[in-house]
Amino acid sequence: MPTPFLFHFAQAHNEFRLPELSSICELHGIPFSLSKNPQSNDPNRPFMVIELENEEQARILAKRCILIKAIYEFYGQGSTYEELHEENRKSEPLWRKYVENTSFRFLITAYQHKIPQSRQRDVMESFAYMGFLGKIDMKNPEITLTCFEDYEERTGVTRVKHEGDGDFRQVFFGRLIVDGSARALIGKFDVKKRVYYGNTSMESEISLIMANQTLAAPGKFIYDPFMGTGSMAYPTAHFGAFIFGSDIDGRQMRGKQKEPGVLRAAKQYGVASRIIDLSTFDITHNPLRCGEMFDAIVTDPPYGVRAGAKRLGRKKSLPDYKKELTRQHNLNGRPDDQPYIPPTKPYELSHLARDLVLLSRYLLKPGGRLVFFLPTVTDEYEEVDIHTMLCEGMEVIANSLQDFGSWGRRLVTIRKVTKEKYPPPTFEPAPNDQDTHIPAHKDFREKYFQGFRSSKSESVEPEGQEQDSGSDAQQ
């Protein structure tokens, strides 16, 4: 029979909580369900009651989910302490075994509020009916019992000390089972402590959540097509997966030292043996001739704010004499003995996203996942925007927003749901149909630098406009 557990989440990235939890449950074959009580299943609040089969499953989740702070055996909740005590008495079979001879401590805490000491004592005394006979041990108790008072957020409102004390939304009560140990990885993978990074390197907490969305585990093979300085590779490899990375600009992966920067950082984290290879190529002109290679594809595509996406080609066609000069140089070698750097042109975001999904359908194994960030304009976004990039055999299973106000970036997870084999995509340009829905992420760079002043009806600068160059890697 399912057992209710009280999950205490970190108050960050609220929309990412359930997708991450669902992914790790799928990875470990753990069935779960949300409480039917609407007061205890709001994903925007830090406390949720979730049903699992046993405590061992709770420990597995707390060890892997980045957004879990702690998990408790759930004894009760209520909008008042009277309601809480009524539920707690019904849960006596769960806590009765600890009454006789178990050392314990009792904590009273709150979210968005500080409870005065005097009322904390009153609350503790109200649980006297539980009749615990063991020793009170505040340092190393055998069990920890905790009351959580959940208050409404009052961001930007100045109030006096203890104002509104007792006016909580809900109060929860339970026994601590396990603290969330995965959150320690945020410090381990902190970009500021990394030996190699760039100005577009993904922050550690987000990269860890993305790695969980890929279902990274020992034996998995995962690909990052916009590798950059490797932010996605390190946490994914930490969870046991093997990594292959590519980028159109190999300088991002190499850095300025003899040993590639990505490999130096991988050694720092003890995962260098899991970096299978790094390659330089444009995904629309890729050398991969075998489909269904990867268990997941995870990436943070460049979208032109700090580093612009590029693909091979020229914005303007060369005159004939320059074409002939280039051909002679390719045949006979460049006169200055420098390596040839092929020309590139901007890669418009909506085209990039569509091509990424097509490439993923070809390269992913059946059931494999594509996990990537997609920036969108807040006022223009519609749910259909995500579906404009989909193709047959691919479906969205998670779409979570990191909100920055006028714009945000969406962590999108798409699963390959077909077993049909597809040929390598040709990346043909999409038909220019005036009736086709224009997604909010189209021409995102131009909208960003215009301050998102233009509406859907206004035109934006064409795809051929010059974009940012790649970011300089740090040593």
325 has pLDDT over 90:
no
Question: What is the model's pTM?
Answer: 0.86
pLDDT digits over 277-309, tens only?
Answer: 999 999 999 999 899 999 999 999 887 555 556
471 has pLDDT over 70:
no
The tokens describing 73, both together, are: 């055996």
Please report which confidence band the pLDDT of residue 470 belongs to, taking 50, 70 and 90 as the band edges: very low
Measured CA to CA, the distance from residue 57 to residue 227 in angstroms comes to: 34
pLDDT digits over 24-73, tens only?
Answer: 999 999 999 998 888 888 888 999 999 999 999 999 999 999 999 999 99
Q: What is the mean pLDDT of residues 5-14?
A: 94
Please report which confidence band the pLDDT of residue 447 belongs to, taking 50, 70 and 90 as the band edges: confident
Measured CA to CA, the distance from residue 21 to residue 212 in angstroms comes to: 9
CATH topology match: 3-155+162-180 vs 189-429+438-450: no
pLDDT digits over 90-107, tens only?
Answer: 999 999 999 999 999 999
CATH classification for the domain delimited by 3-155+162-180, as one of 3.90.850.10, 3.40.50.980, 3.30.2130.30, 3.30.1330.60: 3.30.2130.30
Please report which confidence band the pLDDT of residue 311 belongs to, taking 50, 70 and 90 as the band edges: low
List the domain boundaries for the chain: 3-155+162-180, 189-429+438-450
Please report which confidence band the pLDDT of residue 456 belongs to, taking 50, 70 and 90 as the band edges: very low
- Residue 1 is predicted with a pLDDT of 77
- Residue 341 is predicted with a pLDDT of 64
- Residue 466 is predicted with a pLDDT of 37
Q: What is the mean pLDDT of residues 380-400?
A: 92
- Residue 309 is predicted with a pLDDT of 64
323 has pLDDT over 80:
no
Measured CA to CA, the distance from residue 162 to residue 229 in angstroms comes to: 47
- Do 470 and 252 meet the contact criterion of CB atoms below 8 Å apart? yes
- Residue 157 is predicted with a pLDDT of 65
- Residue 465 is predicted with a pLDDT of 38
CATH classification for the domain delimited by 189-429+438-450, as one of 3.20.20.220, 3.30.450.20, 3.40.50.150, 1.10.1740.10: 3.40.50.150
pLDDT digits over 187-208, tens only?
Answer: 999 999 999 998 888 999 999 9
Say what percent of the chain tops pLDDT 70. 83
Specify which of 113-127, 208-222, 396-410 reaches the highest per-range mean pLDDT.
208-222
Please report which confidence band the pLDDT of residue 75 belongs to, taking 50, 70 and 90 as the band edges: very high
- Residue 166 is predicted with a pLDDT of 87
- Residue 315 is predicted with a pLDDT of 60
User: Cα(first)–Cα(last) distance of the chain, in Å?
Assistant: 54
255 has pLDDT over 80:
yes
- Residue 347 is predicted with a pLDDT of 74
The tokens describing 30, both together, are: 């753990």
3-state SS, one letter per residue, for the chain? CCEEEEEEECCCCHHHHHHHHHHHHHHHCCCCEECCCHHHCCCCCCEEEEEECCHHHHHHHHHHCCCEEEEEEEEEEECCHHHHHHHHHHCHHHHHHHCCCCCEEEEEEEECCCCCHHHHHHHHHHCHHHCCCCCECCCCCCEEEEEEEECCCCCCCCCCCCCCCCCCCEEEEEEEEEECHHHHHHHHCCHHHCCCEECCCCCHHHHHHHHHHCCCCCCCEEEECCCCCCCCHHHHHHCCCEEEEEECCHHHHHCCCCCCHHHHHHHHCCCHHHEEEEEECCHHHCCCCCCCCEEEEEECCCCCCCCCCEEECCCCCCCHHHHHHHHHHHHHCCCCCCCCCCCEEECCHHHHHHHHHHHHHHHEEEEEEEEEEEEEEHHHCCCHHHHCCCCCCEEEEEEEEEECCCEEEEEEEEEECCCCCCCCCCCCCCCCCCCCCCCCCCCHHHHHHCCCCCCCCCCCCCCCCCCCCCCCEEC
Measured CA to CA, the distance from residue 60 to residue 68 in angstroms comes to: 11
Measured CA to CA, the distance from residue 413 to residue 398 in angstroms comes to: 5
420 has pLDDT over 80:
yes
Please report which confidence band the pLDDT of residue 212 belongs to, taking 50, 70 and 90 as the band edges: very high
The tokens describing 382, both together, are: 């519609």
